[in-house]
Structure 1
Amino acid sequence: MPKILPFRAVRPTRDKVSLIASRPYDSYTKEERDSRLRDNPFSFLHIVNPGYKYHKVISGKERYKLVRNRYQEFKEDEIFVKDEEPGYYIYKIVNRDQLVFHGIIAAASVEDYRMDRIKKHEETIEFRETMFRDYLKTVGFNAESVLLTHPDDPNLERIVSRVVQSRAEYEFTTTYRDTHYLWYVKDKQTVDEIREIFKRMPAVYIADGHHRSSSSYLLAEDYKNENKEHTGEEPYNFFMSYLIPESDLKIYEFNRLVKDLNGLSKEEFLIKLDAMYRIEDRGAEYYKPSKKHHFSMYLDGSFYSLYLRKDNYEIKNALDALDTKILDSTILKPILGIKEARKDKRLNYSHGRMDLAYVKSVVDSGVYKVGFGLLPVSTSELKQIADEGLTMPPKSTYIEPKLRSGVTIYEF
């Protein structure tokens, strides 16, 4: 029974939202960031990159303090305004491929995260957890929602369908040609209905944002230890989330790119692969796998299909059946010598939106020696791994929708 609550968001004024909304900082090239910072004084990038004002790269705790200063300036100038009443925020995205996503922005409980009512499927890195916790503690707000998914619910769908018939509080289109809509839901009856629907769900699942979730939990633990009158209802006990039905979730694969063959010749590498895979050279023909446990490989100007020899591979649980795990266990570790995928700089990734043409181009350029193509992980696989308390290899899923930063902000 997850506790998914309404909250008072800090939001841009209607006339500024399209100027403020930004993608995550690291998703821009340096040229793109410089252009937006130079030409758009309202971009949220000015808050997360406060050193731009002084033409200086600033990092660590000094940067965190300046982030808070820039944020406070946006509030003082009434570019950001805090809603007077707690509410839920229905958020709709129509992307450039005409995929439509509907969801609800709300406050999710760190206690539910601890008790596994918010289920995880990825490992987190301790350094990134503590770094983001320290960032949150200094700036005092969170501007990026954790993406959670839940079973489709006809009652929730009915409420969302009813609300989106009215005029949206926000409607704006990005340069990526994605159109974003937001409705602020604050009437008591609807708020109570939404809260009760979420309360009846046995669990929700993290789709994207494992580090943000774990950092919020660590932050709450710190504040709890410092607060002798801790009740569990303080704002720091919750984190901002975007909850969407499972049917709306779009999962892409992450393809693998490796810089060398671990000292093997092409022929030696193929012979080692033959022990675990039936291999077919498809030449210049683009090959994308169509079944689980099938992979594509691009090597030395040719595409290959790789079909797992199932008699040679034992599946004991949901993780063993995952294609990213199979690739890791049968090729990356034993043949290519990549023992720790999180740390080995010989390994890189490209998500499925960049397709196999990208894999071919970077292998042909000589930057990488071999590339592997996979099928996307399914929602049922994601849930089964989370339900069994297992964790996927890194970069197993690239998930949409992606929200813009700065549209709703959660303060604690």
Structure 2
Amino acid sequence: MAEIKPIRAWRYNRDLTKKIEELTSPLFDVVSDKQRQKLYQNPYNSIHLSVPLGEDPSLTAQATLEEWKRNKIIYQDLIPGIYVYYQYFTLPGSDREYCRKGFICNIRAYDWDEKVILRHENTMPKAVNDRIELLEKTELNASSTHGLYSDVNFELEAYMDESMLNPIYETEDYQGVRDVLSVIHDAKIVRRFVELIAEKEIILADGHHRYEGSLAYKHQRIKSNPHHTGDEGYNFHSMFLTNMEADDLRILPTHRLIKGINNLDEEEVLRKLENYFTIKPVENPHDINEIILGKKWAFGLVFKENAYKVRLIPDKIKTLSWAFPDEIKELDLTVMHYFIIEKALGIPGKDQTRSDNIIFDRSFADCLTKVIKDEVQLAIITKDISMKEVKKVCFSGYTLPQKSTYFYPKVICGFLFSSLREDEFEKETDFSI
């Protein structure tokens, strides 16, 4: 179902890649202002293509890209390949080292209604527009989105493991993750990647804004090209694909912080919550994330002076009036956004996506600190969502509440770039099925 192609990647020249760690950068939607300022100091860091500076950032990126090509800062590989990308990482409280295995390729940019690439969350228009402008000016995917396919036989992993015996790059990134890249050029093996993925649906795990930018850009180019064939570079998008059946796929929770609500009163909030939840005070707020662990419809509420565990009374799920199927209604995050944020805090569901009163934070410790320092009025602590739940949502045709998933670790930018320009895009049919 999903058409993929190998990439003739643009990569940094060999002199620069001796210090590849100085050229990589976080993705545009997770890089902090402090990180940006430090990375901008290196004139060749990949952030200049992914999150460019200037009054017109997309024009800045275009000029930078042209300069880098002209001065051989980056060069295009002679033959196309499948780029194998492994990320080795640990999680807090555990000594186990995980390895998320996957590969980077070009994938056809399917519209949502084609139901080949499935989304699980909605996007913010401004972030999408920024990505469109970058594509228009650079015709380059500076970073790959993250997609998931299902293969219970783990066939491709054997080819990837063999490729990893000869890595191109290896570095430790800003997350403390060890990132390793290798490449497969063998036409027979590449063809098997193409064949296997052709049978699959793809769940978009991360990069919804960049993918929607690619869709909008594709339609712009189709409209302006009377000779459109469907094989042009603008019909494709760079994606990192991983097997969702692997045990090394991790989704971390994203907590909600509430600020700027006039006359927010703790007692009044609890009074409203009593209609739906059992409420138990928690003596030490630092324990609250562990107290709710494994309990359905349980959340932590942290005010400046007090903390509580709240858990939905099971019968109350029937009163959830949003027009969702049961598999969406019964998600922890739906329960949180409906009963806590809408019913108790008074922020209607239709306004929550764009509300300035809601902040998203993945760090439990940061949430507690911000409440104590009066930077926010309330922290709502939640649990991670399972891959099983993500699948349910995607296959139902609905989407999760905003910022429901944080697939960890994040892909980094800078190992390779994928051009969509007609004279640079790989169109060879040797790898096609």
State TM-score, norm by structure 1. Answer: 0.91
Give the CA deviation at 1:41: 3.1
What are the Cα deviations for residues 323-354 of structure 1, in whole angstroms up to 9, with x where unaligned? 11111110111221222222221211111xx2
1:124 and 1:86 map into 2 onto residues whose CA distance is 32
Query: Partner residue of 1:237?
Result: 235
Give the CA deviation at 1:86: 1.7
Question: Structure 1 residues 79, 222: closer, same or farther in 2, change over 3 A?
Answer: same
Alignment pair present for 1:137 and 2:131? no
Asked if structure 1 preserves the Cα contact closer than 8 Å seen for 2:361 and 2:367, the reply is: yes
Give the CA deviation at 1:31: 4.3
Query: Partner residue of 1:411?
Result: 419
**AA in 2 matched with 1:347:** I
Instruction: Write the mapping of 1:395-406 to structure 2, written as runs, cut at 5 A.
Output: 395-406=403-414
Query: Partner residue of 1:345?
Result: 356
Alignment pair present for 1:36 and 2:42? no
Instruction: Write the mapping of 1:96-175 to structure 2, written as runs, cut at 5 A.
Output: 97=91, 98-111=97-110, 113-152=112-151, 153-164=153-164, 166-174=165-173
Q: Between 96-105 and 216-225, report the one with greater CA deviation.
A: 96-105
Give the CA deviation at 1:127: 3.7
2:159 and 2:390 map into 1 onto residues whose CA distance is 27
Question: Structure 1 residues 66, 358: closer, same or farther in 2, change over 3 A?
Answer: closer
Asked if structure 1 preserves the Cα contact closer than 8 Å seen for 2:272 and 2:343, the reply is: no
**AA in 2 matched with 1:207:** A
1:360 and 1:175 map into 2 onto residues whose CA distance is 23
Unaligned runs of 5+ in 2: 92-96, 421-433
Q: Between 10-19 and 133-142, report the one with greater CA deviation.
A: 10-19
Question: Structure 1 residues 224, 398: closer, same or farther in 2, change over 3 A?
Answer: same
Alignment pair present for 1:67 and 2:78? no
**Candidates 213, 216, 221, aligned match of 2:214:** 216
Q: Between 286-295 and 269-278, report the one with greater CA deviation.
A: 286-295
Asked if structure 1 preserves the Cα contact closer than 8 Å seen for 2:27 and 2:411, the reply is: no
2:141 and 2:276 map into 1 onto residues whose CA distance is 46
Query: Partner residue of 1:55?
Result: none
Query: Partner residue of 1:279?
Result: 279
Query: Partner residue of 1:305?
Result: 309
Question: Structure 1 residues 212, 33: closer, same or farther in 2, change over 3 A?
Answer: closer
Aligned residues: percent identity? 25
**AA in 2 matched with 1:331:** I
Query: Partner residue of 1:259?
Result: 259
Give the CA deviation at 1:121: 0.9
2:210 and 2:31 map into 1 onto residues whose CA distance is 20
Number of matched pairs? 398
Question: Structure 1 residues 257, 208: closer, same or farther in 2, change over 3 A?
Answer: same
Show structure 1 runs of 4+ deviating over 6 A: none
What are the Cα deviations for residues 273-318 of structure 1, in whole angstroms up to 9, with x where unaligned? 1111000001225212122211111123232111111111127422
Give the CA deviation at 1:36: 3.2
Question: Structure 1 residues 27, 212: closer, same or farther in 2, change over 3 A?
Answer: closer
What are the Cα deviations for residues 192-247 of structure 1, in whole angstroms up to 9, with x where unaligned? 1111111122x110001111111111111111121122111111101000001112
2:112 and 2:79 map into 1 onto residues whose CA distance is 26
Asked if structure 1 preserves the Cα contact closer than 8 Å seen for 2:145 and 2:207, the reply is: yes
**AA in 2 matched with 1:174:** D
Aligned alpha-carbon RMSD (Å): 2.0
Asked if structure 1 preserves the Cα contact closer than 8 Å seen for 2:39 and 2:45, the reply is: yes
Alignment pair present for 1:329 and 2:338? yes
**AA in 2 matched with 1:71:** L
State TM-score, norm by structure 2. Answer: 0.87
Instruction: Write the mapping of 1:377-392 to structure 2, written as runs, cut at 5 A.
Output: 377-392=385-400
Unaligned runs of 5+ in 1: 52-57
Question: Structure 1 residues 393, 323: closer, same or farther in 2, change over 3 A?
Answer: same
Instruction: Write the mapping of 1:78-89 to structure 2, written as runs, cut at 5 A.
Output: 78-89=72-83
Question: Structure 1 residues 186, 227: closer, same or farther in 2, change over 3 A?
Answer: same
Asked if structure 2 preserves the Cα contact closer than 8 Å seen for 1:14 and 1:170, the reply is: no
